[in-house]
Structure 1
Amino acid sequence: MASHRGWKICATVTGILFITILVVLVVLFLTVLKIKEPDIVARPVNLESYEVVVFPAIKFNVSIGILITVKNRNYGSFKYDNSTALISYRGKVIAVTPLKDGTIPSHRKFNITASMDILADKLLFDSNFLRDLRAGVLNFTSHTTVHGKGSLLKIFHKKATSNTDCNISIIVASQSVDSACTTSINF
């Protein structure tokens, strides 16, 4: 009879311990270890090179640098796929550059950089280009979409898509650039 009672106590203690561990693990996965959105910030773009010649022939070559910082706030890695960055002038795509895929380890920050060359042949056929060039300000927009997924223990995965849009103004006289960027993340 005593050994039967000992087995009941042992089974009860084991069951309570198992339930306690299970509750602690569920709470950890729902709070601390929950897959969170990465912080994705687009930095203002910079002008890497600039050349405008109007006479004897129009020549306009600009190289713009784009910097996107991704901060992985998770306890697992964040892997992003190959993507592209686009620059448009008055709704027409004038420059495209690929962004290579990569993986960001847990609690790390990673910079995705790209250099985009805008060449005159894409702009010369736009009737607004010469008018904007004479006015001294060329306005562009850039759009970058980054697809990726966060993982935890290589078991739990959550997909994310980041869209970054920038308004870029190139001031011709000072050869400077002014930009404002916004980022949205969809999980």
Structure 2
Amino acid sequence: MEVESLKQEENKTMMMMAQHDRNPNKKRRRKIICLVVISVILALALIFTILGLTVFKAKRPVITVNSAVLSDLHFSFDMARLRVFLNVTVDTSVAVKNPNRVGFEYINSTALLKYRGDVVGEVPVPAGKIGARDSKIMNVTLTLMLDRVLSNSNLYSDIMSGTLPLQTYARIAGKVRMLFNIHVVSYFSCDLEVSISSRNITKLQCHYKTKL
């Protein structure tokens, strides 16, 4: 009996020693696994950061006014009633280029026709999307609203001089989705002079502005 009890105690001692030997191995494995997981996470974060700052960095859409053409101009003056009739329509072709590797989505906007700072015509620009590294042509037709321009005291002197100063303006706002949404706003404005006698645009100067 004593021999058997001694053997049992020896077996228990050996099992405890074996378990003690295995525990450090388990701890080592866990540490190694944790280090590998952390290293992978840090590597992926570094890769995404580099891509975000280089390949997938958000770029500003480029707006270019290709042309502004006077499609209609009609002017008459009623001497008896001292009334002016003036109809001006400007067709503007605008190119919007998306240099990003992902699509650019823009919301509803409005193109404006201005006369000496006053809005005298407007037309909606519907929302849309421009594909990655693609361009889109927007044809905008702006017509002067006579009732809005008659109240301006400079109208008669401009008509007498034979030149009507106008300005076209539009703001296009949208977003580029990289790792997250990046909002972009682009503007363009064109100063133009309309010759009443020759019925054409004699001067066109455009300005562009974009911000992230």
* TM-score range relative to shorter protein: 0.7 to 0.9
Higher mean alpha-carbon deviation, 171-180 vs 37-46, is at 37-46
1:66-120 Cα deviation digits (max 9, x unpaired): 2221111111110111111122212221111111110111010012221111133
Indicate if the aligned counterparts of 1:42 and 1:182 stay in contact, CA closer than 8 A.
no
Percent identity among equivalent residues?
A: 26
Unaligned runs of 5+ residues in structure 2 are: 1-30
Q: For residues 93 and 99 of structure 2, what CA distance do their matches in structure 1 show?
A: 19
TM-score if structure 1 supplies the norm length? Answer: 0.82
Any residues of structure 2 matched to 1:1-20 within 5 Å, and which? none
**Partner amino acid for 1:140?**
L
What is the aligned partner in structure 1 of residue 20 from structure 2? none
Q: 1:144 aligns with which of 170, 174, 186?
A: 170
What is the aligned partner in structure 2 of residue 185 from structure 1? 210
* Distance apart, 1:55 and its partner CA: 4.1
* Distance apart, 1:184 and its partner CA: 0.5
* Distance apart, 1:47 and its partner CA: 0.9
What is the aligned partner in structure 1 of residue 14 from structure 2? none
Larger relative contact order (C-alpha < 8 A, sep ≥ 6)? Answer: 1
TM-score if structure 2 supplies the norm length? Answer: 0.74
Q: For residues 72 and 58 of structure 1, what CA distance do their matches in structure 2 show?
A: 44
Q: Report which of the two has the higher share of strand.
A: 1
Q: Report which of the two has the higher share of helix.
A: 2
Higher mean alpha-carbon deviation, 40-49 vs 63-72, is at 40-49
What is the aligned partner in structure 2 of residue 3 from structure 1? none
* Distance apart, 1:20 and its partner CA: 5.5
Unaligned runs of 5+ residues in structure 1 are: 1-7
